[in-house]
Amino acid sequence: MRAAVYVEQDQPLVVEELDAVEPGPRDVVVQIAASGVCHSDLSVTNGTLPIPPPCILGHEGAGIVDWVGSEVSHLVPGDRVIATFVPACGSCWYCIHDKSNLCEGTAETAMLPRAKRPNGSTAVGFAGLGTFSDVMTVRESQAVKVDTELPAEQLALIGCGVTTGVGAALNTAQVEPGSTVAVIGCGGVGQAVIQGARIAGAARIIAIDPVDLKRKTAEQQGATDLIDPSAGDPVSQVQELTGGRGADYAFEVIGRPETIVQAFATARRGGTAVVVGMPRIDSEVTLPGFGMFYDEKKLLGCVYGSAQVRRDFPRFISLAETGRLDLGAMVSRRIKLDEVNDAFRAMEAGEVIRSVIV
Ligand code: APR
Ligand code: ZN
Ligand code: ZN
């Protein structure tokens, strides 16, 4: 197998030939057809999410099942699947309480040795996956069968960005028709929040991002108002647009304490702020104590769009098949595995919504 491996913090990924570890009875082997490059992969390389190397990165992918272990009951070779970076084991406390995005199997699958490197060390797959590869071995709980003709590059995005963003609007916040939504950070995930808010029937969607391309794309995806935060305080700009009240829902989709504070300030009294971005593991957020009480705001965390993947992947596929969810517009660039480090550069430079390895 050929894969892109994280070997050292702040260093480029190494694309190399590895030997796959023998799969176990609960594993499936997936031929990867497409993999999106998400900010969380970059966050591993820069220490925002400290994961010990070596680790095959990539957690947003789709492909075809090639082999199944003897205890696998839901998948057969030939099935089309989307990888889920949180397992949905179906039997832990969270899974049986309809909260599979918090599945207790996460830590175990993330630690499984998956491939031997040329230097003899053993690599895990990021979040139990490792989609920056031509093939990956995952637990059955991390592959969701889908039945659709949509292109693989679009299905891959459902594996993380789309589900996280659309799910944040539909599942976590449960945006109501006619409401006003502010989205701080309009990268791949933020664009999906905007689409989720549009699908939910939001009347007004305020997109906040310093990069022109992101604001333009946001407008195409349904944003009604665009704010450049580098041209003045975004909180007061949202207040101006909303009669001084603030937004019914404010989503933070970057993962920084200062923009989480902005999202909280942007929500109206009684409104909801949602933390969709992944902050550094050691970061802390300071919020106004009196305001937390007096303004009666809700602050919601959001992992994987509160998605129940076996329910929501097919739901998002239906929305895409009927043209209500635009996945094509999110694919900015198709690249080869060897270009993955340049995809990180393009992400940081604000040149793309998503690069997809095909
Ligand atoms: N205000 C508004 N937007 C900002 C600001 C700011 N101060 N600073 C950066 N941004 C924008 C960037 O211009 C970019 O468009 O935030 C966006 C981040 O997008 P991406 O880098 O494409 O990241 P994405 O893959 O969308 O992930 C966003 O969600 O899943 C998590 O780990 C991921 O924390 C990350 C977040
Ligand atoms: Zn991701
Ligand atoms: Zn579970």
User: The domain spanning residue 266 has which CATH number?
Assistant: 3.40.50.720
Token pair 């491939």 is found at 115
Q: Report the nearest-CA residue for atom 20 of ligand 1.
A: 187
Provide the 8-state DSSP code for 232.
Answer: S
Give the closest ligand to the alpha carbon of residue 108: 3
168 and 155 belong to one structural domain: no
189 and 249 belong to one structural domain: yes
Alpha helices, H only, 201-249: 212-221, 234-241
Residue 318 lies in a domain: no
The two structure tokens encoding residue 57: 């990165």
Range of the domain at 105: 2-159+326-357
Q: Report the nearest-CA residue for atom 31 of ligand 1.
A: 277
Q: What is the pLDDT of residue 229?
A: 98
| Counted domains in the chain | 2
Q: What angle do CA 106, 82, 333 make, to 5 degrees?
A: 110
* CATH code at position 50: 3.90.180.10
Distances from the Cα of 119 to the Cα of 17, 22, 54, 113, 331, angstroms:
11, 18, 11, 15, 35
**Beta carbon of 194 within 6 Å of any ligand 1 atom:** no
Tell me whether residue 348 is exposed, middle or buried, using C-beta atoms within 10 angstroms of its C-beta: 0 to 12, 13 to 18, 19 or more. exposed
Cα–Cα dist 323/213, whole Å = 22
Q: What is the pLDDT of residue 291?
A: 86
Residue 282 lies in a domain: yes
Q: Report the nearest-CA residue for atom 11 of ligand 1.
A: 185
245 and 348 belong to one structural domain: no
Q: First CA to last CA across the chain, in angstroms? A: 15
Tell me whether residue 267 is exposed, middle or buried, using C-beta atoms within 10 angstroms of its C-beta: 0 to 12, 13 to 18, 19 or more. buried
CA of 259 to the centre of ligand 1 (A): 10
Domain end call among 303, 318, 347: 303
21 and 123 belong to one structural domain: yes
117 and 194 belong to one structural domain: no
Q: Report the nearest-CA residue for atom 19 of ligand 1.
A: 187
**Beta carbon of 44 within 6 Å of any ligand 1 atom:** no
Atom of ligand 1 nearest to the CA of 160: 30
Strand pairing class (2-6; 135-139): unpaired
130 and 267 belong to one structural domain: no
Residue 77 CA to chain centroid, in angstroms?
27
**Beta carbon of 257 within 6 Å of any ligand 1 atom:** no
Give the closest ligand to the alpha carbon of residue 167: 1
10 and 101 belong to one structural domain: yes
**Beta carbon of 275 within 6 Å of any ligand 1 atom:** no
Atom of ligand 1 nearest to the CA of 39: 25
143 and 265 belong to one structural domain: no
130 and 197 belong to one structural domain: no
Among candidate residues 63, 66, 84, the one with its CA nearest the CA of residue 76: 66
62 and 184 belong to one structural domain: no
Q: Report the nearest-CA residue for atom 35 of ligand 1.
A: 277
124 and 149 belong to one structural domain: yes
Neighbouring residues of the ion ligand 2, judged by CB less than 5 Å? 38, 40, 160
> Which amino acid, residue 261?
V
Residue 320 lies in a domain: no
HSE toward the beta carbon, residue 11, CA cutoff 13 A? 12
Beta-carbon contacts of 313 under 8 Å, excluding residues fewer than 6 positions away, are 82, 84, 144, 146, 158, 163
Give the closest ligand to the alpha carbon of residue 237: 1
153 and 11 belong to one structural domain: yes
Average pLDDT for runs of 10 along the chain of length 358: 98 98 98 97 95 97 98 97 97 97 96 96 98 98 98 98 98 98 97 98 98 97 98 97 98 98 98 97 94 94 98 98 97 97 97 96
Q: What is the pLDDT of residue 189?
A: 96
